[in-house]
A = this chain, B = another copy of it.
Amino acid sequence: MSLREANLEVKVVVETPLLDENEKGPWPSTVTEIKKTGYEGLLQIYELAFKDRVTHWAHGGMVGYPGYDAGVIGRMSDRHDILRDCHTLRLIEPAGWFYKTDALRKMCDIWDKYGSGLMNFHGATGDIQLIGVPTDNIIPAFNELAKEHWDLGGSGGDFRTASCCIGPARCENAMIDTLDIYQTLMTDPNNLDAMHRPRWPYKFKLKISGCPTDCNAGVARADFVLIGIWRDDMKVDQDEVKKYADGGLDIGYIASRCPGRAMEWDGETLTIDNDNCMRCMYCINKMPKALRPGDDRGATILLGGRARGRYGAFLGWPLIPFMKLEAPYENVQELIDTLTEWWDENGRTKERMGETIYRIGTGKMLVETGLKPNPTMVRAPRNNPFWFYLPGEVEE
């Protein structure tokens, strides 16, 4: 009998008056879903939180799959009388979050057998989250999942599971092959080793977006971001522009909000000043049938993003304004290695890459890694007169 069947057998008799209130209303409810799984202990713990207005979960201890030191988030309640251990398995998602249904169904079966049957597509980092596995079931659960080619994702101070936008799979804006880059990086043995055996100062997140629209929110959530971009001129189909205008689109207004002041619309023709265009995608997104990025494409590499942290949030800034990409993306991998090595050596515990760079100084990081300084890294060069000279740079 699978765990879920066992759970369902213990009919849900537990009273959850507060959760029931939350369940009401038109939006599909997590409470309903938990009820569907028959996972009574979780329901009770959750109801208790609503009643007490504090969580009833505590640290989860050290749990995991032998050979892996990551991918399982330990979780225990503070009410062992109700439910004791309720860990999470993080599974690496398929690129772009595309699923064949048979793969999904098999995953459901395995999860019903060993876990709660409760799932999350997806966690905010992008992994599949399987919520609620008792300690003893971790090994058999993953044994079967692995057979179906579901690997554990990241957790702790490691190379976190990357993610990528839908890109070339269904978006005309994609200037890099987001899915293929993802696949290549996420099957690289060294990266997987860095993912499954945490040894870095803290987590390292990587996201890939096909264009500066950044639908994968890399700039806000990842230490390292690849964003597709073009270098040559934007392609403008004047007839299609005209059609948009005739259809009532206020192109003058769009031009007025172009951040590069690069659009000129005279009512007939749209002129793009390609030198000043900031590749922001605004006009292209407004007129997808008329405007398209140029053909000389590559990636901008951003560095240093992270939420909150010790100093408050940082957002990603361009380390490399333009890099040509070609499978198997060795130049990207090299860059990752250079940076993570530097960070591994210099970072303090619980210090994200951007924070280490901040503490030590971008300039020093560049000198030590051999990466090139570039005006695009900064909004403007420094405004304070506080910098250092290395011995040899000044006269004795």
In the complex, what residues of B have CB within 8 A of residue A312's CB? 383-384, 386
Q: How far is the CA of A385 from the CA of B311 in the complex (A)?
A: 10
Contact with B along A294-328 (1 / 0, CB 8 A): 00000000000000100011000000000000000
CA distance A383 to B311 in the complex (A): 11
**Whole-angstrom distance from the CB of A254 to the nearest CB of chain B?**
15
Residues on B with C-beta less than 8 A from A386 are 312
What residues of chain B lie closer than 8 Å to A384, measured between beta carbons? Answer: 308, 312-313
Q: By the criterion of a CB under 8 Å from any partner CB, how many residues of chain A are at the interface?
A: 7
| Copies of this subunit | 2
The residue in chain B whose Cβ has the minimal distance to the Cβ of A312 is B384
A313 → B minimal CB distance (Å): 7
CA distance A384 to B312 in the complex (A): 5
Interface of A, helix, strand, loop or mixed by DSSP: loop
Shortest A375–chain B CB gap in Å is: 20
A385 CB contacts on chain B under 8 angstroms: 308
Query: How many Å lie between the Cα of A342 and that of B386 in the bound state?
Result: 30
Q: How far, in angstroms, from A386 to B386 measured CA to CA in the complex? A: 28
Nearest B-chain residue to A386, judged by Cβ: B312
Q: List 7 A-B contacts (CB under 8 A).
A: A308-B384, A308-B385, A312-B383, A312-B384, A312-B386, A313-B383, A313-B384
Report the bound CA distance from A308 to B385 in whole Å: 8
List of B residues within 8 angstroms of A383 by Cβ: 312-313
Q: CA–CA, A383 to B313, complex, Å? A: 8
A312–B384 Cα gap in the complex (Å)?
Answer: 5
Binary interface profile of A, 69-104, with partner B (CB < 8 Å = 1, else 0)? 000000000000000000000000000000000000
Quick one: which of A357-396 are within 8 Å of B by CB? 383-386
**A308 contacts across to B, CB distance below 8 A:** 384-385
State A313–B384 Cα separation when bound (angstroms).
Answer: 7
A92 to chain B, nearest CB (A): 31
Kindly state the separation between the CA atoms of A386 and B312 in the bound complex, as whole angstroms.
Answer: 8
Q: Which residues of B contact A313 (CB under 8 A)?
A: 383-384
- What is the bound-complex CA distance between A385 and B309, given in angstroms? 10
Alpha-carbon gap, A310 to B391, bound state (A): 24
Tell me the complex Cα distance, A282–B308, Å: 39
Closest to A382 in B: B312
Q: How far is the CB of A255 from chain B (nearest CB, A)?
A: 11
Smallest CB gap from A309: residue in B: B384
Q: How far is the CB of A256 from chain B (nearest CB, A)?
A: 8
Cα distance A37–B384 in the bound complex, in angstroms:
38
Cα separation A122 to B325 with both chains bound (whole Å): 60
A233 to chain B, nearest CB (A): 24
User: Whole-angstrom distance between the alpha carbons of A313 and B386 in the complex?
Assistant: 11
The distance from the CB of A362 to the nearest CB of chain B, in whole angstroms, is 16
A345 to B308, CA, bound (A): 33
Query: A307 CB to closest chain B CB, in angstroms?
Result: 10
Please measure, in the bound complex, the distance between the C-alpha atom of A383 and the C-alpha atom of B315, giving whole angstroms: 12
In the bound complex, what is the Cα–Cα distance between A312 and B385 (angstroms)? 8
Closest 7 interchain pairs by CB?
Answer: A312-B384, A312-B383, A308-B385, A313-B383, A313-B384, A312-B386, A308-B384
Nearest B-chain residue to A385, judged by Cβ: B308
